């Protein structure tokens, strides 16, 4: 199923990228992370791996073809500012693109989006982890994101090109209108035994990692333990 040709869904408000840096953590430890990205001006080059020069402190879980660009809606900032009790400066969530008009209930797995001359495909929701909590000094941050469904999402790159702040985000095709990011988040984090919904969401465009998780649930009934993702490894283990 295709959407209206070049139907504009939203706008890129800011573009961010950055290198890995050390972030202070508990027990005198430091965390290698690129969550503290900087704003980029002008048109930036985007390849299959994402924005040129962008880095990942945890390449096992971040980056790769299915996670080339992270989008996060600016509309969600107010929700987390109220929970945190203070303002958040962009990009508070380590997102590559801070956007307007691209909420999780309005984007679907497999959506083809044109941004500047880049064509991306929605591949998966962002899976919130302890690094966001470490950055903002609030361990509850991953749970806040799961409960609200305000996670943002990732794109894989179909056609490399250039994009910039101010670019429109246009919908080129929508092959899986039932598989919204909001629905995938619901099944992953809240209604985890909704097997009928899991089966509906096992579409080819869903990232390999999320498909494997859902397939394991169907095959074994096993539910993932989110503790390490939410809180990080114990003091005697290296960060991951």
Query: Has residue 6 got a pLDDT over 90?
Result: no
Residue range(s) defining the domain that contains residue 62: 7-176
pLDDT of residue 42: 96
User: What value does the mean pLDDT of the chain take?
Assistant: 93
234 belongs to a structural domain:
no
pLDDT of residue 236: 66
235 belongs to a structural domain:
no
Residue pair 155/71 in contact (Cβ under 8 Å)? The answer is yes
132 belongs to a structural domain:
yes
pLDDT of residue 233: 83
How large a percentage of the chain has pLDDT more than 70? 95
pLDDT of residue 210: 96
SS3 92: coil
229 belongs to a structural domain:
no
- Please report, in angstroms and rounded to a whole number, the separation of the first and last CA atoms in the chain: 39
- pLDDT band at 239; cut points 50, 70, 90: low
pTM exceeds 0.75: yes
124 belongs to a structural domain:
yes
192 belongs to a structural domain:
no
240 belongs to a structural domain:
no
- pLDDT band at 12; cut points 50, 70, 90: very high
- pLDDT band at 1; cut points 50, 70, 90: very low
Structural domains in the chain (count)? 1
pLDDT of residue 5: 57
Residue pair 16/98 in contact (Cβ under 8 Å)? The answer is yes
CA atoms of 144 and 80, how far apart (whole Å):
8
32 belongs to a structural domain:
yes
Identify the CATH number of the domain in which residue 31 sits: 2.40.33.20
Per-residue pLDDT of 143-198, as tens digits, reads 999 999 999 999 999 999 999 999 999 999 999 999 999 999 999 999 999 999 99
């Amino acid at each position: 199923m295709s959407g209206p040709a070049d139907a504009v869904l939203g706008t890129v408000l800011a573009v961010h990228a950055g290198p890995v840096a050390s972030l202070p953590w508990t027990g005198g430890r430091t965390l290698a992370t690129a969550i503290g990205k900087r704003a980029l001006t002008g048109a930036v080059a985007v390849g299959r791996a994402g924005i040129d020069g962008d880095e990942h402190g945890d390449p096992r879980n971040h980056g790769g073809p299915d996670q080339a660009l992270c989008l996060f809606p600016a509309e969600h900032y107010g929700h987390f500012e109220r929970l945190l009790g203070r303002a958040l400066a962009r990009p508070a969530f380590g997102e590559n693109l801070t956007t307007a008009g691209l909420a999780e209930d309005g984007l679907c797995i497999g959506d083809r989006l044109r941004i500047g001359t880049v064509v991306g495909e929605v591949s998966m929701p962002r899976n919130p982890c302890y690094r966001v909590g470490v950055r903002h000094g609030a361990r509850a941050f991953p749970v806040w994101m799961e409960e609200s469904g305000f996670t943002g999402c990732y794109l894989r790159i179909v056609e490399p090109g250039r994009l910039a702040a101010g670019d429109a985000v246009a919908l080129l095709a929508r092959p899986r209108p039932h598989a919204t990011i909001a629905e995938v988040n619901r099944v992953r984090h809240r209604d985890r035994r909704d097997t009928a919904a899991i089966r509906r969401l096992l579409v080819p465009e869903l990232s390999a990692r999320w498909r494997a998780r859902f397939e394991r649930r169907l095959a074994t009934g096993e539910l993932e333990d989110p503790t390490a993702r939410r809180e990080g490894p114990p003091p005697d283990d290296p960060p991951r």
